[in-house]
Amino acid sequence: MRINETFLSLQGEGRFTGMPAFFLRLSGCNLQCPFCDTQHQSYTEKSEEDLVAEALRHKPRHIIITGGEPALQLTQTFIDKLHGAGFFVHVETNGTRPLPEGIDWVTCSPKPPHPIKDGLRIDELKVLYTGKDFSLPDYLAPYIAEAEVQLYLQPLDTGNQEQNRAILLGAIAYVMEHPEWKLSLQTHKMIGIK
């Protein structure tokens, strides 16, 4: 597998905020979003067995597979090996490609105008709030209507404090008007960890 980086940290966003986890960032993405805050193009080749062994050297049994776009590389055998080693497998995806079966938690952060792959199981929908012209794409309606899907609105980090403050206030106002949504903040950035 093409691995950008592995690290131990706290989950900074969404449902599992504050939970210790082993992060596995895969290299490459099928989308090239101009606002992406992750440098994920460089990589080192590692085998599935080596990755499981590396993850086992740490206490958390929650593994978060992110990218780039994990669906470009994830295999059923790797998911099965992680489960066999006792891991809770959490994948963060843009939702444009199918995922292997049996993933314990799927966080989908869609990137309009790219639709979500038909049939993709989503546990957590994390939508980026981009500013005053924000609107939800129509293709999200079926997921928003599902009672089981947890809905998070996350302010876009532009790298500019003034813009970020305006975006944050807009996201808060949106959530207050649409209480089915929760605000997701990038707490790892706030506290200065990876």
SS3 174: helix
Average pLDDT, the chain: 94
Token pair of 117 as six digits: 């792959």
Q: Is 66 helix (H, G, I), strand (E, B) or coil?
A: strand
Give the CA dihedral 103, 99, 41, 48, nearest 10 degrees: 60
Tens of pLDDT, residue by residue over 10-38, are 999 999 999 999 999 999 888 877 666 66
Report, as residue numbers or ranges, the catalytic residues. 23, 29, 33, 36-38, 92, 188
Distance CA 171, CA 130 (A): 8
Higher pLDDT, 107 or 37: 107
CATH code, domain with 47:
3.20.20.70
CA-wise closest residue to 31 among 69, 85, 80, 1: 69
Mean pLDDT of 66-77: 96
Categorize the per-residue pLDDT at 132 as very low, low, confident or very high, splitting at 50, 70 and 90: confident
Parent domain of 112: 2-190
Burial bucket for residue 93 (CB in 10 Å: 0-12, 13-18, 19+): buried
pLDDT of residue 30: 80
pLDDT of 41 over the 90 cut:
no
At 39 the pLDDT is 66
Percent of the chain at pLDDT exceeding 90: 86
Q: How many domains does the chain have?
A: 1
35-49: buried (b, 16+ CB within 10 Å) or exposed (e) per residue?
A: eeeeebeebeeeeee
Label each residue of 93-118 as H, E or C: ECCCCCCCCCCCEEEECCCCCCCCCC
Token duo for residue 134? 């924000």
Strand pairing category for 105-108 and 62-66: unpaired
